[in-house]
Structure 1
């Protein structure tokens, strides 16, 4: 856990950005924009899959990816830090679910290795940044 003082923040740009700026809507943070772009890219890719693949893997993958940014926004709209943290945790879990379905899509030859690894890396980046926000906000309890 990080200390309560702004000058003792870790050298992490996402945590520092939030702490130094004071409250800003989550939609203004890069992590939200990246999660949204990732979801849009996944939606467009999976929309071209055959019906059965779209129905079985594509829908789950698109829903999981959409849930990342949606849960971030829902948590940001909560009136208590504790409620907000719960939804950030849901967002992080949705990122993990997204990663799972990306691996399933690769295993079923719906994504080639390069596509899958790129999307997984982007998903993991979003997840790590959500974790940093959670860690910082826990210091505010």
Structure 2
């Protein structure tokens, strides 16, 4: 693989971030520096860590960044749950974002396992 942009998991993470940005456009303006910012940062971090890890010189480093990406994904899910529980994120959109997150989590785990087998 020549580029992280060819990775399906990275492409899906980018799409998730875009959907999160769109969802937070409807959040109260008073949350711009609160939950909105945290959710957007966590969403962008998932794809960013995949890309950064791919650029490292070793498979072990790549795996470490994929694990960091998993952590960002769990942080994102936590912010989504909070947003849903306080009424800022309605059920259909919440479930769509959580489903996308679950799928990315599965892809990350599969990629990590695949890379570990090559070590």
- Aligned pairs, number: 119
Question: Which whole-Å CA distance do the structure 1 matches of 2:20 and 2:95 have between them?
Answer: 13
User: Aligned with 1:139: secondary structure?
Assistant: helix
| Contact 1:38 1:119 (C-alpha < 8 Å) held by counterparts | yes
Q: Which runs of 5+ in 2 are unaligned?
A: none
Match of 2:59 in 1: 81
The structure number with the bigger radius of gyration is 1
Q: Distance in 2 between matches of 1:69 and 1:109?
A: 27
Unaligned runs of 5+ in 1: 1-22
Q: 1:55: which partner in 2?
A: 33
TM-score by length of 1: 0.80
* CA RMSD after TM alignment: 1.1
TM-score by length of 2: 0.94
Q: 2:103 aligns with which of 112, 125, 139?
A: 125
Paired position in structure 2 for 1:18: none
Deviations 1:89-127 (A, max 9, x none): 011111111111110100111111111111001011001
> What corresponds to 2:21 in structure 1?
43
Distance 1:54 1:103 in 2: 17
Q: Helix, strand or coil for the counterpart of 2:118?
A: coil
